[in-house]
Amino acid sequence: MREFKGRPPGAGAGDMSRLTEALRPSIALTPRQAGDARRMRREGKEPPEIAALLDVPMDEVEKALCQMRMPRPETTRGTLNVTLAAHAVVMRERQGNEPLWVTMDRLLDELFRLRAEAGRRVSPPRNSARRRTPEAPLLDLMGSARRH
């Protein structure tokens, strides 16, 4: 096990920013009531039903629910944490000004297609690694990286 280098997170790590907290409207619910309202909302209850169950004003329930974080059902993009070498490969493979996610989708589609083709082959030709395939430039780059 490696020893931690650097400073560990402070006692307030992960807390809400004071500025964010100051900008939010005050809620006339106790922290417990606000938590219960959010839990009920996650369970599928509607705001009027939550207000009736907690016996609190509807506008206070709505304020508590507006500050609630909900997972998105489908994210539109993600972060790809790669080395600088992998980034350079992706940038070389980019076609024109296409978004990077399009480039990544295309490269991954190509990789999966090539793997499927390789799995169907019984024995690959001996010089297949040296042969240049214009439809698979990433494989050429990966092959040249292995030789160096």
Q: Are 66 and 93 in contact (CB under 8 A)?
A: no
Average pLDDT over residues 77-92: 80
Across 100-112, average pLDDT: 89
pLDDT range class, residue 127, cuts 50, 70, 90? low
d(CA 12, CA 18): 11
| 17-21, 26-30, 94-98: the lowest-pLDDT one | 17-21
pTM greater than 0.85: no
Q: Find the mean pLDDT for residues 46-56.
A: 96
pLDDT at 48 over 60: yes
| Distance separating alpha carbons of residues 142 and 148, to the nearest angstrom | 10
pLDDT of residue 5: 67
Q: Return the pLDDT at 62.
A: 92
3-state secondary structure string across 74-137: CCCCCCCCCCHHHHHHHHHHCCCCCCHHHHHHHHHHHHHHHHHHHHHCCCCCCCCCCCCCCCCH
Q: Which of 32, 61, 67 is nearest to 49 (CA)?
A: 61
What number is the average pLDDT over the span 102-107? 89
Average pLDDT over residues 17-40: 88
Residue 100 is predicted with a pLDDT of 85
Tell me the C-alpha to C-alpha distance, in Å, between residue 129 and each of 7, 50, 88, 89, 136: 47, 64, 22, 18, 11
As a whole number of angstroms, the distance between CA 84 and CA 59 comes to 50
